[in-house]
Amino acid sequence: MASWNTARLLETAANTQDGPELLMDLVEGMNAFAVSVTESLDKIEKLLTPPLPDERGKNNNSLPEAIILRVRVVTAGKALQGPDVAVPEGVASVIRQRRHSNSPNGYVALNERDVSSTGSRIEMVNGDTVVLQVSNWNKIWFDADTASTDFELIAEQ
């Protein structure tokens, strides 16, 4: 609300020869200022709002606290690629061998060729864990000496 002095100034300006034109210029200037402030605030708000990770669409628009999945080697000696699950940047993946039948040996590598090569894979037994930094679990490959060997994949924030 305008003070008495401001109201009197506006009334006086309106009654002068150039007053209406000056008032219109003043209104245009205030409108331009208001638009500029609104645009600036929108930009600031956008910069302050963190981007929504792609995973939100898979979790009812909420950010998951953790992702846990199980991978089962069904055919021993046949490389199995991990599931197509994006891992948020900066979150490490923990892989744990959980169950096996007969021979306890399981294998993990970062490509299909290496999981079958004795010199380029991680050898695991039941209960062993390994931590890897990958952007997607489909970059991890699994194999085992016997069928029905399970691995848990865990990504926790």
DSSP-based helix, strand, coil % in the chain, nearest 5: 35, 25, 40
Predicted confidence band of residue 58 (pLDDT cuts 50, 70, 90): low
Task: Note whether 44 and 65 are same-domain residues.
Answer: no
Domain final position from 33, 48, 63: 48
100-130 per-position pLDDT tens digit:
666 678 999 999 999 988 788 999 988 899 9
Same domain for 76 and 23 = no
pLDDT at 59: 54
The answer to whether residues 104 and 135 belong to one domain is yes
Residue 145 burial (10 A CB sphere; 0-12, 13-18, 19+): middle
Domain residues for the domain of 114 are: 54-156
Q: Are residues 32 and 86 in the same domain?
A: no
pLDDT per residue over 9-51, tens digit each? Answer: 777 777 778 777 877 888 888 888 988 999 988 888 888 877 6
Q: How many helices (H) and strands (E) does the chain have?
A: 3, 8
Paired strand residues for 129: 96
Same domain, 38 and 60: no
**Token pair of 22, please?**
């000056």
Task: State whether 75 and 34 are in the same domain.
Answer: no
Residue 60 banded pLDDT, cuts 50, 70, 90 = low
Residues 64 and 134 in one domain: yes
Domain shared by 14 and 73, yes or no: no
What is the count of structural domains for the chain? Answer: 2
Residue 105 belongs to a domain with what CATH number? 2.60.120.10
For residue 83, is pLDDT > 90? Answer: yes
Cα distance between residue 155 and residue 89, in whole Å? 11
Mark whether 65 and 116 lie in a shared domain.
yes
Residue % of the chain over a pLDDT of 90: 35
- Residue 94 and residue 17 share a domain: no
